[in-house]
């Protein structure tokens, strides 16, 4: 079985964007790949975190993965926490010494995020290398993500190729990003030219997986559209409406064509009301599962098993790489 790997930062409650680019893809692929799904808690500390809040978000993220349908009873599913495996940081250091500052400074996400902080951390600069280490440690062939992480997976590809060439062996599998055809970039509900983000400061911009029914309806009904009153999919000229159609498609399984056909006679109000209904139904079901999962022992059992399994794989890979660069005796 080929390996597939992805992770979602526990830097706040997960959004419907994270569901679309990350979790939903894992659920769709989990029967066909050996799947490595982890919580990148070390990534979250590239910006300041409240430690208690972070620990709560880690467990909540895992609860949500499971509540959405990630199946940890499958022997090919490995669920783990990044910081419980020291090889991620160790390999990251080696890869940092094979990466260039210019490469890091060119990363779109770094350029955006560094603007938000007057004094950003070194971790924010080198974060994509840690992400490369996350992927390369396990020889993951496929990395499901949204479009915002594509450039980081491309960096992981470049580093794998660079390392293999420099040390003249197939140390790392060269990974490929996997983007969903619809929903690779769910947009901010208030500023639809931007992506929806869990760290938004405007509460109406994002729908979180644990939002209550009233908030879901309110946020969808107040989403920005345009003055044309014509339901059509055109991401460039009608980003707001196209975003609503994408979200609808992600959560209902209907195609964009079917949705345009269904809503073409009416105004945006009908589309919004129906979408709010779909989201309320889907997210309430996830939240019911989530409450049960959070009270069970299933999370810790899965994380213990995942930690042990992935540490063994990571150790073997790291030792091979460490030897190649000449570390130790």
For ligand TYM, the binding residues (CB under 6 A) are: 5-9, 17-18, 20-22, 40, 43, 131, 134-135, 143, 145-146, 148-149, 183-186, 195-196
Q: Smaller CB distance to ligand TYM: residue 157 or 185? A: 185
CB of 127 to ligand TYM, least distance (A): 7
Q: Which of 113, 204, 218, 262 is catalytic?
A: 113
Q: Which is nearer to ligand TYM, 196 or 278 (CB)?
A: 196
| CB closer to ligand TYM out of 205 and 225 | 205
Q: How far is the CB of 232 from ligand TYM (least distance, A)?
A: 21
Measured from the CB of residue 141, what is the shortest distance to ligand TYM in angstroms?
12
Candidates 185, 198, 219, 317; catalytic one = 198
Quote the least distance from Cβ 304 to ligand TYM, whole Å. Answer: 21
198 is catalytic: yes
Residue 194 appears among annotated catalytic residues: no
Smallest distance from the beta carbon of 274 to ligand TYM, in angstroms? 21
Residue closer to ligand TYM by CB (options 5, 271) is 5
Q: In terms of CB distance, is 202 or 296 closer to ligand TYM? A: 202
- 195 is a catalytic site residue: yes
Decide if 23 contacts 70 (C-beta within 8 A). Answer: yes
Catalytic residue among 24, 141, 195, 219: 195
Q: Which residues are catalytic?
A: 113, 195, 198
């Amino acid at each position: 079985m080929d390996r597939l790997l992805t992770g979602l930062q526990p830097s706040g409650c997960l959004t419907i964007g994270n569901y679309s680019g990350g979790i939903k893809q894992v659920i769709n692929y989990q029967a066909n790949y050996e799947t490595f799904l982890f919580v990148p808690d070390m990534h979250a500390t590239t910006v300041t975190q409240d430690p208690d809040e972070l620990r709560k978000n880690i467990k909540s993220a895992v609860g949500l993965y499971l509540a959405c349908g990630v199946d940890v009873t499958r022997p090919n599913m490995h669920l783990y926490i990044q910081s419980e495996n020291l090889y991620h940081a160790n390999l990251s250091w080696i890869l940092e010494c094979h990466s260039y500052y210019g490469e890091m400074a060119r990363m779109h996400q770094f350029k955006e995020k560094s603007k938000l902080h007057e004094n950003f951390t070194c971790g924010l600069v080198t974060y994509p290398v840690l992400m490369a280490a996350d992927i390369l440690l396990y020889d993951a062939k496929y990395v499901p993500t949204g479009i915002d992480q594509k450039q980081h997976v491309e960096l992981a590809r470049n580093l794998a190729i660079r390392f293999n060439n420099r040390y003249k062996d197939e140390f790392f599998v060269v990974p490929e990003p996997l983007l969903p055809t619809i929903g690779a970039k769910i947009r901010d509900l208030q500023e639809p030219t931007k992506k929806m983000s869990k760290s938004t400061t405007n509460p109406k911009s994002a729908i979180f997986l644990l939002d209550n029914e009233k908030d879901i309806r309110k946020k969808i009904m107040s989403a920005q559209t345009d003055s044309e009153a014509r339901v059509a999919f055109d991401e460039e000229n009608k980003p707001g409406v196209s975003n609503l159609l994408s979200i609808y498609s992600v959560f209902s399984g209907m195609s964009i064509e079917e949705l345009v056909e269904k809503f073409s006679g009416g105004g945006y109000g009908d589309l919004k009301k129906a979408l709010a209904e779909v989201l309320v139904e889907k997210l309430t079901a996830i939240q019911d599962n989530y409450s049960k999962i959070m009270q069970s022992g299933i999370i810790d059992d899965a994380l213990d098993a995942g930690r042990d399994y992935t540490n063994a794989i990571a150790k073997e890979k790291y030792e091979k790489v460490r030897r190649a660069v000449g570390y130790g005796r």
